[in-house]
């Protein structure tokens, strides 16, 4: 399998290892596969076996053994994915958000890719986070040889749990800074670094700057697996016949998760509708309803902060090729009031507790089913554990959450190792790299 940049009219092809090492293409575009392999053998496999079978089709320059080892190491401690009724829970990983699915595997893919492409430098991952990517990057990369990570988070914009997950990370190769500003400021600072050739050149004899955000195809592909896995579970438990369609409602920000579902559908998985759920930052809902993408609008801070985004980078992967099947998508949005009411309603009726992002999806799912009359089995993709957003969730359900999952137990007693605030991202990076 080869990869091309979304912005390259000449469609110059590169290997998976090159695409993963680079993150973003040199022309600023995103790497996409040149075709979609068909895949039907999803029944009767464990998660890891399925991950291996799917990823072998895309990472064709990796050996079977290499992939097996990468997948085995990635999911040894935490297997993030669990189907629970109509909820596809993706949050049982190291940091309790769905980003763990890809980020527990990504460092292994990156180190193998660097080796394959003959890069002997240390990879420097620079990440801006609104709260979930940061902890997941740090957990995945801590103490992995050949990689360093810098994470910048908005000092006043993350939950107490998210902050502690980052500032107490014990990896020797990770560096964490708060910034005075919002997520957009952090993101702009990082983009500025990637665009600054002179800055990167200063360190180019020892370091290669790359990205672990979902613009990296190595982040996206591991997410294709859980669509196959959940579908297979539905067949194996007798809830559907193989071949029957299933809908997925996905709480969406940067359009990575739902795009992975689209890839699964292109590979032959019988997905009916992919329903894109947004919060008050409803630029994608508007896009699917009108065909016009207009990110030029007010930015809203909401109770589902990981979806507070106006520039959904991965949409370019859907719209750049000809013949994107936009008819697969439906969409909707939910306000904070609706989000809180849905957490409360689900808890009251079933005793099940969902996080605010999942509640956005559930709100949109219920409305979609009512308005469309579509009776297709519909899974709600659940992207974070409620404990990660305990203040919001406890307000909604009117009581304390039960005991925390082991991943965050004792977090409040851990030592803060990264108290730093950075005024300037480049100086912060420069200081660290100069003395290591
Ligand atoms: C990142 C994130 C999302 C959005 O996923 P995208 O792939 O960016 O669309 C939704 N929910 C949670 C909890 C997240 O961390």
- How large is the average pLDDT for residues 276-289? 97
The CA distance from 45 to 240, in Å, is 17
Query: Sorting pLDDT into bands at 50, 70 and 90, what band is 192?
Result: confident
From the list 136, 127, 103, the residue with the least C-alpha distance to 187 is 127
Residue 184 has pLDDT above 80, yes or no: no
Instruction: Give the position of tokens 């959940």.
Output: 230
Distance from the alpha carbon of residue 307 to the mean position of ligand 1, in angstroms: 6
Q: Is 99 an active-site residue? A: yes
Catalytic residue among 2, 40, 45, 99: 99
Distance from the alpha carbon of residue 117 to the mean position of ligand 1, in angstroms: 30
Quick one: pLDDT at residue 159? 86
Q: Which residue out of 96, 102, 132 has the highest number of ligand 1 atoms within 8 Å of its CB and is therefore the one to mutate? A: 132
The CA distance from 399 to 393, in Å, is 9
Helix (H) or strand (E) holding 172: none
- Neighbour-count burial for 411-434, b at 16+ CB within 10 Å, e otherwise: eeeeeeebeeebeebeebbeeebe
**Residue nearest to ligand 1 atom 14, measured at CA:** 306
The CA distance from 95 to 136, in Å, is 6
- How large is the average pLDDT for residues 413-433? 94
The CA distance from 238 to 244, in Å, is 12
Residue 133 has pLDDT above 90, yes or no: yes
Closest atom of ligand 1 to CA, residue 252:
9
pLDDT in tens, 50-80: 999 999 999 999 999 999 999 999 999 999 9
Closest atom of ligand 1 to CA, residue 251:
10
- How large is the average pLDDT for residues 266-271? 98
Q: Which residues, 6+ apart, have CB-to-CB distance to 368 below 8 Å? A: 249, 273, 275, 330, 332, 374, 378
The CA distance from 359 to 336, in Å, is 10
Give 14's DSSP letter: B
Closest atom of ligand 1 to CA, residue 260:
7
Residue 28 has pLDDT above 90, yes or no: no
Contact by Cβ (8 Å): 63, 172: no
What is the SS3 assignment for 330? strand
Quick one: pLDDT at residue 202? 94
Q: Which residue out of 80, 383, 385, 387 has the highest number of ligand 1 atoms within 8 Å of its CB and is therefore the one to mutate? A: 383
Give the strand order in the sheet containing 82-84.
Answer: 82-84, 87-89, 378-382, 246-251, 271-278, 329-333
The CA distance from 159 to 394, in Å, is 14
Contact by Cβ (8 Å): 94, 101: no
Helix (H) or strand (E) holding 318: helix 315-319
Residues flanking ligand 1, CB < 6 Å: 97-99, 132, 214, 251-257, 306-307, 357, 383-384
Characterize the bridge pairing of strands 87-89 and 82-84.
antiparallel
pLDDT in tens, 201-246: 999 999 999 989 888 999 999 999 999 999 999 999 999 999 999 9
The CA distance from 436 to 420, in Å, is 18
Closest atom of ligand 1 to CA, residue 131:
15
Closest atom of ligand 1 to CA, residue 355:
13
Quick one: pLDDT at residue 187? 80
- Neighbour-count burial for 318-333, b at 16+ CB within 10 Å, e otherwise: bebeeeeeeebbbbbb
Residue 290 has pLDDT above 80, yes or no: yes
- Phi first, then psi: what are they for 389, rounded to 5°? -125, 50
Give percent of the chain above pLDDT 70.
Answer: 100
Residue 375 has pLDDT above 80, yes or no: yes
Residue 436 has pLDDT above 80, yes or no: no
Query: Sorting pLDDT into bands at 50, 70 and 90, what band is 362?
Result: very high
Q: Which residue out of 80, 106, 133, 251 has the highest number of ligand 1 atoms within 8 Å of its CB and is therefore the one to mutate? A: 251
The CA distance from 210 to 220, in Å, is 15
The full DSSP string for 217-229 is: HHHHHHHHHHHHH
The CA distance from 368 to 332, in Å, is 8
10 Å CB burial of residue 64 (0-12, 13-18, 19+) is: exposed
Structure tokens given for 249: 């409602």
Distance from the alpha carbon of residue 391 to the mean position of ligand 1, in angstroms: 19
Distance from the alpha carbon of residue 420 to the mean position of ligand 1, in angstroms: 26
pLDDT in tens, 306-332: 998 888 889 999 999 778 999 999 999
Residue 131 has pLDDT above 80, yes or no: yes
The CA distance from 211 to 207, in Å, is 13
- Dihedral sign of CA atoms 310, 311, 312, 316 in order: positive
Quick one: pLDDT at residue 210? 92
Distance from the alpha carbon of residue 425 to the mean position of ligand 1, in angstroms: 24
**Residue nearest to ligand 1 atom 11, measured at CA:** 383
């Amino acid at each position: 399998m080869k990869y091309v940049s979304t912005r390259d009219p000449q469609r110059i092809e590169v290997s998976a290892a090159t695409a993963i090492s680079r993150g973003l293409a040199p022309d600023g575009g995103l790497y996409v596969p040149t075709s979609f392999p068909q895949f039907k053998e999803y029944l009767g496999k464990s998660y890891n076996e399925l991950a291996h079978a799917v990823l072998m089709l895309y990472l064709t320059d990796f050996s079977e053994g290499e992939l097996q080892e990468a997948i085995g190491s990635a999911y040894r401690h935490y297997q993030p994915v669990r189907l629970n009724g109509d909820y596809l829970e993706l949050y049982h990983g190291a940091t309790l958000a769905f980003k763990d699915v890809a980020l527990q595997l990504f460092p292994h893919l990156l180190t193998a890719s660097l080796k394959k492409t003959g890069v002997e430098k240390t990879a420097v991952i620079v990440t801006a986070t609104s709260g979930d990517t940061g902890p997941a990057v740090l957990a995945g990369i801590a103490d992995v040889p050949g990689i360093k990570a810098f994470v910048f988070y908005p000092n006043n914009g993350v939950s107490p749990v998210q902050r502690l997950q980052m500032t107490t990370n014990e990896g020797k190769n990770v560096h964490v800074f708060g910034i005075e500003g919002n997520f957009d400021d952090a993101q702009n600072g990082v983009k500025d670094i990637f665009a600054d050739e002179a800055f990167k050149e200063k360190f180019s004899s020892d370091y290669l700057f790359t990205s672990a955000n979902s613009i990296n195809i190595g982040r996206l592909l591991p997410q294709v697996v859980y669509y196959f896995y959940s579908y297979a579970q539905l067949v194996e438990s007798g809830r559907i016949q193989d071949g029957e369609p299933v809908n997925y409602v996905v709480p969406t920000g940067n359009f990575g998760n739902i795009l992975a579902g689209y890839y699964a559908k292109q590979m032959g998985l019988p997905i009916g509708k992919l329903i894109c759920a947004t919060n008050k930052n409803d630029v994608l809902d508007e896009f699917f309803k009108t065909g016009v993408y207009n990110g030029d609008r007010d930015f809203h801070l909401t109770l589902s902060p990981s979806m507070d985004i106006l520039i959904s980078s991965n949409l370019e992967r859907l719209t750049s090729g000809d013949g994107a099947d936009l008819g697969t998508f439906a969409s909707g949005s939910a306000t904070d009031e609706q989000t809180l009411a849905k957490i409360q309603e689900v808890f009251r009726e079933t005793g099940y507790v969902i996080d605010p992002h999942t509640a956005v999806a559930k709100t949109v799912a219920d409305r979609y089913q009512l308005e469309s009359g579509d009776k297709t089995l519909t899974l709600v993709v659940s992207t974070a554990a409620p404990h990660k957003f305990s203040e919001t969730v406890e307000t909604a359900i009117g009581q304390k959450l039960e005991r925390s999952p082991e991943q965050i137990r004792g977090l409040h007693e851990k030592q803060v190792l990264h108290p730093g605030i950075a005024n300037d991202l480049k100086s912060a990076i420069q200081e660290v790299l100069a003395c290591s």
